[in-house]
Amino acid sequence: MQLGMIGLGRMGGNIVRRLMKGGHTTVVYDKSEQAVAALAADGATGAKALEDFVAKLETPRTAWVMLPAGKITEATIEALARLMQPGDVIIDGGNTFWQDDVRRGKSLKERGIHYLDVGTSGGVWGIERGYCMMIGGEKAVVDRLDPIFACLAPGIGDVPRTPGREGRDPRIEQGYIHAGPVGAGHFVKMIHNGIEYGLMQAYAEGFDILKNANIEALPQDHRFDLDIGDIAEVWRRGSVIPSWLLDLTASALAKNPTLGSYSGFVEDSGEGRWTVNAAIDEAVPAEVLTAALFARFRSRKDHTFAEKILSAMRDGFGGHKEPNAGVTTKPKA
């Protein structure tokens, strides 16, 4: 199949490369001419402007927008919609707020344009590992574009099958789900990221306690000089708390036991805040997720080793770099 991609950053470019490796054709556009040229050299069809991009897509067109959530995504989808025709499909694969999807989906439907929101997890490793996708939109459209999603998904791999799931949608075991109507995909991805906050915070605090087990305030016979890199590694093997996040932590500690290259300034994505707001709207207690979000706010004023662990994990899975200087409380989507 053919897919158009707008936004060729860390994830957009790699999604295109994975699709081409799987035999699909792509049309690409980005404000960076160098990014377009790099993918064109790999076999994509480059476009010089949005009008050129749309003109090079086969009908019914499918355009995937992979840009930071907010004004740039909103403006791009609106401009794209003016150029597209009834029956075409626009996909937002970024970290958009799900209520914006619902509004946008209704507006595009009035023009006869289909809209899918695809919560995409995989970070910078997705080109190799595949992308876990949570999709919202019309079932018929999702089914028609299944070859695209199947190619991007990680596949069942070596993850053991869950007993009792026989006869269920086989796509789930491949790593992608049609979660529901427009908005459902990004809602599920939002909660995914909220849980991610809690998991990361638990690891970070645990390793901080281990690191401080040898402080002078403790009685001499209660002190332990622990190698936390070794502990991270042993927990990866047979314990009940292994995860990709632990893998990334172990890797970071093996390279630099003190994590000296990180300050401990930890940004938060919009999705962490939206998750807490959803919990408030639903009157659902979410103490861990809320505390994890607030811990990131505090990290911008007082850095600890725990925050360095968080920074290392964010860098590991998403290539998120710490700000060079200054303090910000504005969420980074």
| 109 is a catalytic site residue | no
Whether 113 and 86 have beta carbons less than 8 Å apart is answered as yes
Asked about 189 being catalytic, the answer comes back as yes
Place of tokens 């401009």: 79
Q: Which residues of 296-325 are buried (b: 16+ CB within 10 A; e: fewer)?
A: beebbeebbbbbbbbbbbbbbbbebebeee
Catalytic residue among 33, 128, 189, 216: 189
Amino acid at 188: V
Question: In angstroms, rounded to a whole number, what is the distance separating the alpha carbons of residues 248 and 293?
Answer: 20
Name the residue with tokens 């355009």: 63
Q: For residue 252, what is the enclosing H or E element? A: helix 244-255
Q: Where are the beta strands (DSSP E) in 32-190?
A: 45-46, 62-65, 89-92, 114-121, 132-136, 176-180
Q: Which helix (H) or strand (E) segment is 26 a member of?
A: strand 25-29
Q: Tell me which of 21, 51, 196, 282 is the catalytic residue.
A: 196
Spatial strand order of the sheet with 62-65 comes to 45-46, 25-29, 2-6, 62-65, 89-92, 114-121, 132-136, 176-180
Give me the helix-helix angle, 287-299 and 270-282, nearest 10°: 150
User: Which candidate, 195, 164, 174, 184, places its Cα nearest to that of 292?
Assistant: 195
Provide the annotated active-site residues: 189, 196
